[in-house]
């Protein structure tokens, strides 16, 4: 049988009820004992990296996870990461950016706790293990949830509690688990440029925008010494005039500013030429994140700013267009 490393970080899949609410309590070895049918088709090498809700994971935790995956990848056919659902898409995207390993990495978890009457963890776990050990899935990072396999870059959590919580928008899922096994809709592969950093040394803040937003948050971030700022803009990349002025000041102070859109679909593009239009922002030297959401653009900028200087930050954000793909 194929061998899969299962690295547990906590989350709802390992959580039970307590006096303070639902918290992670069950170790990965307890999950192996409780769900033997999920593991009957693979040899498992389980380990517990941390025991946290994903809302409390840090960048240091993500670095430690990527280090551990690099360490085990050479001796297994695939890696499964058990993870909380709040930030599973961010961890998956981070791993997709920084890992350069020859095995698939599949993240999964649960919306219902371990001690609920109908936990969804066992089915998600079985599907993730089947994916990580599948001959057709050789590399890349994915999220498996509710019988669907999603690529790390487009997947997002679009429901706070429903077991059918994840969606990949116009990209669609990579595959679906059927009674006959995985049914592939497209080739399983990474949709991300690889930035193989070993550590994250930069600081990046996200600044939202809305009607009549001012630029104080940007100015404050610059004063605090951040290396980069993600500005989550309106429409195609437009902002109120005061925000545009603060963006220009930030770029002049050598802070890298990346523009995203708060729209779920579509890209940022320098179309509008008004005072706060994206075409004017482009002239100041900002970078555009295509259709990458702000929380993932932050991770991309963090690793881009932390890389060795043999590749510029602009190269990383322009790589999708340079490679002729519809993604970055």
Per annotation, catalytic residue among 9, 12, 131, 209: 12
In 3-state terms the chain splits into helix, strand, coil percentages (rounded to 5) of: 35, 20, 45
Active site residue 12: yes
Residue 234 to residue 251: CA distance in whole angstroms: 19
Can you read off the two tokens belonging to residue 253?
């102070």
Can you read off the two tokens belonging to residue 121?
């963890």
Of 67, 194, 174, residue with least CA distance to 128: 174
Do the Cβ atoms of 203 and 214 come closer than 8 Å?
Answer: no
Can you read off the two tokens belonging to residue 9?
């970080």
Can you read off the two tokens belonging to residue 111?
């919306």
Can you read off the two tokens belonging to residue 226?
């951040």
Residue 221 to residue 204: CA distance in whole angstroms: 9
The residues annotated as belonging to the active site are 12
């Amino acid at each position: 049988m194929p061998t899969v490393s299962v690295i547990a970080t906590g989350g709802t899949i390992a959580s039970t009820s307590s006096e303070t609410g639902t918290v992670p309590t069950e170790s990965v070895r307890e999950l192996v004992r409780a769900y033997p049918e999920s593991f009957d088709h693979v040899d498992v090498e389980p380990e517990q990296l941390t025991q946290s809700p994903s809302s409390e994971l840090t960048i240091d935790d993500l670095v430690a996870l990527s280090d551990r995956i690099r360490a085990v990848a050479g001796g297994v056919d695939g890696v499964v990461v058990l993870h909380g659902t709040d930030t599973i898409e961010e961890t998956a995207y981070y791993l997709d950016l920084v890992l350069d390993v020859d095995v698939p990495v599949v993240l999964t978890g649960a919306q219902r706790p371990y001690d609920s009457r109908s936990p969804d963890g066992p089915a998600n776990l079985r599907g993730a293990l089947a994916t990580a050990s599948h001959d057709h899935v050789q590399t890349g990072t994915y999220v498996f949830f509710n019988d669907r396999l999603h690529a790390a870059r487009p997947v997002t959590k679009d429901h706070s509690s429903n077991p059918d919580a994840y969606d990949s928008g116009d990209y669609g899922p990579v595959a679906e688990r059927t009674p006959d096994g995985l049914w592939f809709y497209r080739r399983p592969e990474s949709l991300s440029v690889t930035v193989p950093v070993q550590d994250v040394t930069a600081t990046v803040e996200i600044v939202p925008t809305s009607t009549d937003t001012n630029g104080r948050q940007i100015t404050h971030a610059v004063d605090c010494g951040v290396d980069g700022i993600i500005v989550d803009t309106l429409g195609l990349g437009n902002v109120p005039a005061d925000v545009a002025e603060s963006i220009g000041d930030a770029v002049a102070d050598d802070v890298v500013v990346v523009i995203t859109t708060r729209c779920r679909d579509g890209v940022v593009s320098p179309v509008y030429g008004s005072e706060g239009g994206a075409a004017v922002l482009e002239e100041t030297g900002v970078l555009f994140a295509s259709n990458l959401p702000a929380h993932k653009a932050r991770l991309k900028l963090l690793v881009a700013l932390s890389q060795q200087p043999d590749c510029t930050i602009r190269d990383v954000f322009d790589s999708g267009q340079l490679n002729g793909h519809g993604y970055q």
